[in-house]
Amino acid sequence: MGRTAAGAAAVLAAALALTTGCDAAKDAAGGAVSSATAAVASAAERKMDEVRDGVDAKGDVKAGEPRADGDRTVTEVTATNPEDANADYTVMVNFRDGEGKLLDSVVLNIDAVAPGKSKSGTARSNRQLSGATRAEIGRALRH
């Protein structure tokens, strides 16, 4: 094999190794993000489980359209109290991508919602989210 052919083969081999290495790095990074997202979701669930004497109030709560706010994604969450006494709400908001994959989970408190009234709060992602994002109410408790 001549010098030129050997050099071309070496360059091709190096490029292949770098491409393979990049794919492996992407897979590892994706796995780390998935693990971190699962840990955040688990922490959010534990926080919800700490609420005592809460009743399911998912129907009382709505999430608005997500939007960028600096390096985070935020959504306005509105709780409407159908009861005849003030109520506090603890709400778990899930941020998902366009395919429904969980990107992040946060817990938000909306306190002292008057009877028959609505009150809003802002759920802010824990990290920067990219691409099309939607917000959904994972759980909501009135207490």
pLDDT (tens place) for every residue of the chain, 143 residues total = 444 444 434 433 444 344 444 444 444 444 444 566 777 778 888 888 888 899 999 999 999 999 999 999 999 999 999 999 999 999 999 999 999 999 999 999 999 999 999 999 999 999 999 999 999 999 999 99
pLDDT reported for residue 122: 98
Residues 39, 57, 102: CA angle, nearest 5 degrees: 30
First to last CA, the chain: 78
- Amino acid in the structure at residue 92: M
pTM over 0.85: no
pLDDT reported for residue 125: 97
Q: How far is CA 92 from CA 32, 58, 66, 73, in A?
A: 23, 10, 15, 15
